[in-house]
Amino acid sequence: MTILWRPQMSLGNALIDGDHRYLIALINTVELALRTAAERDALATALDQLVIYTHDHFDREERLMRAIRYPAYEEHRRSHRDLTARLVDIRAAIEAVPTGAAPKDEIDRLIELLRSWLLDHVLKEDLLLKPALAGYPENFAG
């Protein structure tokens, strides 16, 4: 099932909200590639894009947190490192699945890992930034 952007996911910052929307699109692309037994190259490309964009997004988010002097910056930064490591593990698990040969329950498990990886972070940790960003323009980039 495709992840859809919902207004309650918004932090009120165009840069970070745009990043989150794109991360959702990338996860949806990985899911589609897994469910349709896409060519290994297509899946690898989607995973590469997800890993690279995640790194870039975390850099932008951390720069923004430093600019607003977010009190939980260090804790959030550590969370980003943990999330990056989890993403690398998830990627390795997905790449270990033979193309077109994975049982549906294994594909479902891997997709759920990806979904919870993103949504748990956005809906639990990133939303804590919303009050701190409230006093800044929507297009504030740090």
Per-domain boundaries in the chain: 11-133
Specify the 3-state DSSP secondary structure of 3: coil
Q: What is the pLDDT of residues 19-59, one digit of tens each?
A: 999 999 999 998 888 888 767 788 888 889 999 999 999 99
Instruction: Specify the CATH superfamily of domain 11-133.
Output: Hemerythrin-like (1.20.120.50)
If you average pLDDT over residues 66-87, what whole number do you get?
A: 93
Distance of alpha carbon 111 from alpha carbon 43, whole angstroms: 13
| DSSP for residue 136 | S
